[in-house]
Amino acid sequence: MTRVFSGVKPTGHLTLGNYLGAMRRWAEVDQHRSEALFCVVDLHALTVAHDPARVRRLSRQAATLLLAAGVDPRLCTVFVQSHVDEHARLSYLLECVATDGEMRRMIQYKEKAARERERGGSLRLSLLTYPVLMAADILAYNADEVPVGDDQAQHVELARDLAVRFNQRYGHTFVVPRATPPQVAARVMNLQDPASKMGKSDDSGPGIVYLLDEPDAVRRKVMRAVTDSGREVEYDPEGRPGIANLLEILAACTNGNPESLASVYESYGALKKDTADAVVEVLRPVQARHRELCADPAYVEGVLRDGAEKARAMARPTVDTAYRAIGLLPPVPEPAALNAVS
């Protein structure tokens, strides 16, 4: 069976973009047709200035929201990255396979580094090596498919390159993974800035619908979305990105099609109102389930404990094989006699 791995980074509250673009497909499709692992990648949240208590809170919340979104621990493995040591173990080995030049060519690194330098801040070394840790996340489980948006495609490409290189140098160890892009209409843009993705780490709140936003807040944000000059409702992502974004959100929420929906509306106001209602309806069951799960923290903890155990059992043999293949001396087993006494 195809193995699928994906991760969600606890650097901010999860958004409608995370849900429509990724989580919903994990719950509705991926966990049913493949052997899937969904991971709260908390180590990745430490690559930029962070508040320890906030990372802890967001990690628990991300795990709870995954379950609330319908990711079912009976069908897949849900866990927290730092609970499984294999990620960090493998990451170091892959640092010995990746090159400095390769890391510095990563688009996301270049952008984030440039922004950070502008602010006069210093960069954490882990921001540079982050894609290697991400490669370790994927390769430790021999994942075949990695469902991610285009902003992560270059990182998955790196994971492929490292897998091929490691296998060539040290013998076949890793499956070579591939990125599987989300379906169209799943790329939700910022309501105030339809040229950029609705990301959770951005701080422009009014353009971002969070999964836990109250209905009133959702309505306010959608009603205030920037539109384009012009009056007709047309689906034209290039020329009318604001309206196209609303049509795509509405289509994603109602299983419709943005082009045909465009012909239904005569005014921007009506489109916004229906989009707001549709988003509220899509979020309602997720929020209800989230409330139930928050009332039962022991359940969520149990899921994460079992998930980490399952994940460890999957990753351990592969990472051990990589340790041996690259030339590390196997640890000496305890003498059998001592075991027998204790």
Residues that bind ligand TRP (CB under 6 A): 5-7, 9, 41, 44, 134, 137-138, 146, 148, 152, 155
221: annotated active-site residue: no
For ligand TRP, the closer CB: 9 or 187: 9
310: annotated active-site residue: no
**Residue 140 beta carbon to ligand TRP: minimum distance, rounded to whole angstroms:** 10
For ligand TRP, the closer CB: 11 or 275: 11
**Residue 81 beta carbon to ligand TRP: minimum distance, rounded to whole angstroms:** 8
The answer to whether residues 273 and 223 touch, using CB atoms and an 8 Å cutoff, is: yes
Residue type (1 letter), 269: G
For ligand TRP, the closer CB: 175 or 217: 175
Candidates 112, 221, 273, 310; catalytic one: 112
For ligand TRP, the closer CB: 97 or 134: 134
**Residue 11 beta carbon to ligand TRP: minimum distance, rounded to whole angstroms:** 8
Candidates 9, 197, 221, 272; catalytic one: 197
Candidates 200, 221, 272, 273; catalytic one: 200
CB atoms within 10 A of CB 223: 13
112: annotated active-site residue: yes
**Residue 130 beta carbon to ligand TRP: minimum distance, rounded to whole angstroms:** 7
Residue type (1 letter), 299: Y
Q: Which residues are catalytic?
A: 112, 197, 200
